[in-house]
Amino acid sequence: MSNGSHDSDQNKKKIRQRRNFSIRINVFFFAVFLLFSVLIIRLAFLQFVEGEELSAIEKRNLRRDVTISPIRGNIYDQQNYPIASTTSTQSLSYRMEPGPTKEERIELAYKLEEIFQKFGDSTKTQPTAEEIIELMDVGHDINGEPTKEANYAFWPRRIKSGLTKEEIAYISEHRDELPGVEVAEESTRVYDHNQIAVQLVGYLRPYSTAVNQQSKPLQIYKGEDADYRNDEYVGFDGLELMYQDVLRGENGRRSYPVNNRDQIVGHVQITPPVKGNNLHLTIHSNVQLATQQAITDHLQLLQTTTNRTYARGRNAVAGYAVAIEVDSGRVIAMASMPDYDPNVWIGGIGTDTWNEITHRYTNGTIRERYADLPADQLARHPSSLVPPGSVIKPLTVLVGLNEGLFRPNDTYNDTGLFTYGRNNNAKVGNSGGARNGRITPARAIQVSSNTFMAEMVGNKLYMTVPDALNVWDSYMKKFGLGVSTESGLPWENPGDIYYFSTAERLQAQFPLVNASFGQEGRYTTLQLAQYAAMLANQGIRYKPLFVDRITTYEGELVEEIQPEILNQEEFPQAYWNVLKEGMRSAVDGFDNVPYTYVRKTGTSEWQVGGQNVDNAVFIGYAPAENPKIAVAVVVPEGGFGAYGAAPIARKIFDAYDQYIGLDGVPKGASQGDEDSADEEDPE
């Protein structure tokens, strides 16, 4: 009995052991199956899902791409005259290859120095061996001493641009003796020697310089998708920057097969770049050059004249002018004088050259530019941003008419003095103390009556209109004063208004009175030109246009730029008639003109360095009926606007009539002489 029971227990135990073993075996096989399943799924995922990406990574690890900069598009004037062109040049680069020792690289640098000295342009300074070895970026200097870790071996380093035919011929014949040296065609920027609207066109600088700048317009070079070579020249200002993407084109590629030490081990594959597009500007070169010359000549006259009236502008050293078409906003001329040669930026700029152009390279018609004087004298001279002075008076009268402060035929007794304030201790007088008697609003513009503007508009607005300062501000902004012209140019200044801050210090009455005759704000020449154009076209503010059309590098049309209206203001025709009548008086320099014109001059006061200076300002348009062109001129420290700015404007109108035609027909010959004329407006 016991033996049978024992055998039965043993059998059960064996059965349980076999069952447990079988379970463990099954679990083991299931685990193995599961592991292989995961492995198979992962392999499938790698092949079908991540295969393409991994393959690309593998290829990147085996190849190194070098950007080929595209040929930059050209910039032409409206007559297709080239202002900025791209020309080809031959450049020598060095690319590290496996094999050469440190001593051999130093020897190569000396060989190149000898070649450059013997066959290079004798009028230019040639790079030395020390400079060449530094440009080669091999990690040591000419003495073999370590400098910095060398960069990627596959990346070509430009050693010299602008090779002569003799240099190219010699290097080609001795290529085997110059390992790693290659000559390639590259493009370089050339600006017309006439220096046409150079500040508007702008200039180029290396990408390595642009990308390190903090100014907002240059942030376009800091995006993740920015794909530039460090030594590639890019737009740094003006239209070159504004239209960088249009002008540049698309990159090409040199793809080098490399080993794990980044050494080239095979043939290069080249994807050619796509050339950039061309800009065809609204600028007319002949009118532009006439504008530049007019400013230069008049500055010289002001500085050297013996005429006491003109001599008020003896300290003037700079002048700014903009000519803009009334019915489209197309800018025909934009000049900041003195100017400079933008070709100085190509190839690097020295300290002496930089010091020479510091106050010349910026566009003073759209931003604040300081006088072209030594640094220790700047604090005593105004910048390009000046108060408008009496040129604001047409708009002042329009404000008064539209706010119901007076009617077109109302009269005002101008005694030559207006007092106001708590104790009538604030005074406003006319230029030269003139007493004009009974005058209408139009006559007030003609004789440039400060007292009319102050009492009938500034003070009356304060006394009768709620929130008067904001009402005044709204009119200024409608006419583009104190807001951007929307030109799109980099670094454009919206103007400097300070009537609000003055009101905080005093009260709104004082800045309103002061602003009525052209103080309490400073504006750019482009803003004044846009304002003048609005007076001409009776309330339409156009966006300033600088480009007529964009074409491919080969000349096929890509886009035509259409005029754009920013805002349009409606006023009764009787009000516009008052303004036009008030602006039709004669002015110096406009004797015997064969066309009609409408204008306003101003002498804006500005305190600089503890003393008041007089800035000459002019706005106007022509012809008086069906106007075509509006002009603004600013000459800081130019004295009376009638003498310091108006003669410049006359030459601009003449040039437009000669080359384009105020009636649509170019006259083809310069106009008559410019004898002085008696005038009713002394400013």
Q: What is the pLDDT of residues 179-195, one digit of tens each?
A: 889 887 777 899 999 99
Which stretches of 306-391 are DSSP H helices?
351-357
pLDDT at 270: 80
Nearest CA to 683 out of 615, 601, 617 is that of 601
| H or E stretch covering 678 | none
pLDDT at 89: 79
Nearest CA to 301 out of 644, 679, 658 is that of 644
pLDDT at 350: 76
CA–CA gap between residue 576 and residue 584 (Å, rounded): 13
Q: Average pLDDT in the 270-292 region?
A: 94
Residues 6+ apart with CB under 8 A from 128: 113
Q: Average pLDDT in the 556-564 region?
A: 97
pLDDT at 543 over 70: yes
Residues 6+ apart with CB under 8 A from 76: 82, 83, 278, 279, 280, 281
pLDDT at 678 over 50: no
Mean pLDDT, rounded, of the chain: 89
Q: Average pLDDT in the 650-660 region?
A: 97
Q: Summarize pLDDT for 36-58 with one digit per residue, the tens.
A: 777 777 777 666 666 666 555 55
pLDDT at 680 over 60: no
Nearest CA to 476 out of 437, 431, 534 is that of 534
pLDDT at 566 over 80: yes
Label residue 309 by pLDDT band (50, 70, 90).
Answer: confident
Q: Domain residues of the chain, as ranges?
A: 2-49, 63-280
CA 517-450-316 angle, 5° bins: 65
pLDDT at 677 over 70: no
pTM across the whole model: 0.81
CB 200 within 8 A of CB 224: no
Strand partners, 171: none
Q: Summarize pLDDT for 70-102 with one digit per residue, the tens.
A: 889 999 999 999 999 998 778 898 887 767 888
pLDDT at 351: 82
Label residue 230 by pLDDT band (50, 70, 90).
Answer: confident
Take residue 603 and report the two structure tokens written for it: 């002498």
Output DSSP code: residue 453: I
pLDDT at 37: 77
CA–CA gap between residue 679 and residue 255 (Å, rounded): 72
The domain defined by 63-280 carries CATH number 3.30.750.24: no
pLDDT at 262 over 70: no
Phi, psi of 264 (to 5 degrees): -70, 135
pLDDT at 393: 97
146-153 contacts, C-beta under 8 A, 24 or more apart: 150/96, 152/64, 152/262, 153/95, 153/96, 153/97, 153/258, 153/261, 153/262, 153/263, 153/264
Strand partners, 233: 206
Q: Summarize pLDDT for 425-470 with one digit per residue, the tens.
A: 899 999 889 999 999 999 999 999 999 999 999 999 999 999 999 9
Q: Is the peptide bond before 257 cis (omega within 30 degrees of 0)?
A: no
pLDDT at 439: 97
CA–CA gap between residue 658 and residue 332 (Å, rounded): 13
| H or E stretch covering 475 | helix 468-478
CA 392 to chain centre: 27
CA distances from 530 to 32, 58, 301, 391, 526 (A): 82, 58, 28, 13, 6
CB 584 within 8 A of CB 595: no
Label residue 631 by pLDDT band (50, 70, 90).
Answer: very high
CB 475 within 8 A of CB 497: no
Residues 6+ apart with CB under 8 A from 653: 593, 595, 597, 620, 622, 629, 631, 662
Axis-axis angle for helices 393-402, 573-582 (nearest 10): 150
Q: Average pLDDT in the 531-557 region?
A: 97
Instruction: Give 127-139 as a DSSP string.
Output: PPHHHHHHHHT-S
The backbone region for 656, taken as left when phi is positive above 0, alpha when psi lies in -120 to 50, beta otherwise, is alpha
pLDDT at 229: 80
- Is pLDDT larger for residue 680 or for residue 27? 27
- Is pLDDT larger for residue 65 or for residue 345? 345
pLDDT at 675: 40
